[in-house]
Amino acid sequence: MIRSFATKLLPLFIITASLAASSEAQTMKPVTAADLSPQLDKIVIDGITKQNYPGATLIVGQKGRIIHAQAYGKQTYQPNAPKVQLDTIFDMASCSKVVGTTTATLLNLQDKKFKLSTPIYQLVPEYDKPDKTQITVKDLLTHVSGIKAYTAASLAEKKRTEGQSKADALIAHYASLPLNSKTGTKYEYSCLNFQTLARLNENATGIRNEDLLIDRVFNPLRMNDTRYVLSDAQVKRTTPSHRKPDGTLVRRIVHDPLASYHGSANNCPGNAGLFSTAPDLTKYCQMILANGNYNGKQIINANIVKDASKPQTPRNVNEDRGLGFDVWEAKSYVTPLNNKPGRYVIGHTGYTGTFLWLDTYTDTYIIFLTNRCLTAKGEKMKSVNPQRRAVTQAVLKSLPQYKKFF
């Protein structure tokens, strides 16, 4: 009798479940350019109108699908300035920490050149000092080393010895500075961490970071415009990052003072220094969101990418950082659904006005590049945070998984 009743209910259950699945499928209809592009265009153009930046590129994608790809404005505020194109090259500033230095570090962890627990003085002997022998590779990646945030290149130049390169002088100077806090006890975002980390990678491999990245990542992903050193042809497509005091536009030389002083010819600076385009970074984001895989080829070990994409800072530190990546927590950038274990939002920002946002739950990404450091005549540099937040909010609201939160 019970079996008969259950048998009668089974078809009804199947029909109900099918209807529910069909309804869910309809509500999960993929977002389209028609849904999103008008909002994004308005946000980015508003930033140009307000002279937050003269031009920008913006790509939004999900897995292998491009939802929105658009270039805006001009390379400078001059009426006859070249228009920004999708393949316009931008100074990535601190986004170099992720696309460049972090990526090289993940490759070298994969190759067992060192471990996260390796004390850095073993590979960067300048740090073989009593207060710094406990600093590990992981401490640099998560910004809990205690090393100060920034310093003036002029201080390293004053101490530079005859025959010593500028890059070597910087590393020696950083290692000579007292720690700002005990290692592992406090988060302090530090460019010095990543210049040191870049040198550690190069010492471990004997290979310049750019050469390693071209061979292992940039060439396989066909990221042909992602470089520390640009060709003459690439410079012609590069936005000026800033002006010299006499008003001369600066291309090819990065905006960041430490990275600029360091140079990229013999060693790569690590904290900044990389140039790239939105289409190149699309491939990078797709690779990271696919746990290191691109078009069926495993570029970086999947487990290493997963570890890099989740909080790695000590529990006593009130800041979530992955391995190199920022783990976004601010409400402007996340929802309750993609701010929990296994489904975080990661990325990075750059001082020149660059922005990478990767949602590991929906495999959605945002690449928003500007050259905000090139100000209009007589204007002070302005923040692009309002546009970053507005773009991210528009994308989050458009995704069916998150509609209930808005």
- Whether the model pTM is above 0.85: yes
Q: Give the contacts of 299 (CB within 8 A, at least 6 positions apart).
A: 216, 217, 220, 221, 287, 292, 293
What is the Cα–Cα distance from 189 to 174, expressed in whole angstroms? 15
What is the Cα–Cα distance from 56 to 74, expressed in whole angstroms? 8
Angstrom CA distances, 190 to 41, 135, 369, stand at 34, 14, 22
Sign of CA dihedral 390, 395, 399, 401: negative
DSSP element (H, E) containing 96: helix 96-96
User: Which residue, among 191, 325, 209, has the nearest Cα to 271 in the 3D structure?
Assistant: 191
Q: What is the pLDDT along the chain (406 residues), one digit of tens a residue?
A: 334 434 444 444 444 444 443 344 345 788 888 889 999 999 999 999 999 999 999 999 999 999 999 999 999 999 999 999 999 999 999 999 999 999 999 999 999 999 999 999 999 999 999 999 999 999 999 999 999 999 999 999 999 999 999 999 999 999 999 999 999 999 999 999 999 999 999 999 999 999 999 999 999 999 999 999 999 999 999 999 888 888 889 999 999 999 999 999 999 999 999 999 999 999 999 999 999 999 999 999 999 999 999 999 998 998 999 999 999 999 999 999 999 998 999 999 999 999 999 999 999 999 999 999 998 877 889 999 999 999 999 999 999 999 999 9
Angstrom CA distances, 215 to 148, 179, 194, 221, stand at 33, 36, 21, 10
The verdict on domain 31-405 having CATH code 3.40.50.300 is no
User: Which residue, among 126, 121, 123, has the nearest Cα to 109 in the 3D structure?
Assistant: 123
39-67 pLDDT per residue, tens: 999 999 999 999 999 999 999 999 999 99
Asked if 183 and 236 count as a contact pair (C-beta separation under 8 A), the reply is: no
What is the residue extent of each domain of the chain? Answer: 31-405
Q: Return the structure tokens found at 224.
A: 């042909």
Asked if 126 and 171 count as a contact pair (C-beta separation under 8 A), the reply is: yes
User: Which residue, among 102, 115, 114, has the nearest Cα to 204 in the 3D structure?
Assistant: 114
What amino acid is encoded at 199 in this protein?
A: R
Rounded to the nearest 10 degrees, the angle between the axes of helix 385-398 and helix 33-49 is: 170
What is the Cα–Cα distance from 116 to 28, expressed in whole angstroms? 40
User: Which residue, among 268, 246, 281, 300, has the nearest Cα to 365 in the 3D structure?
Assistant: 281
Asked if 96 and 279 count as a contact pair (C-beta separation under 8 A), the reply is: no
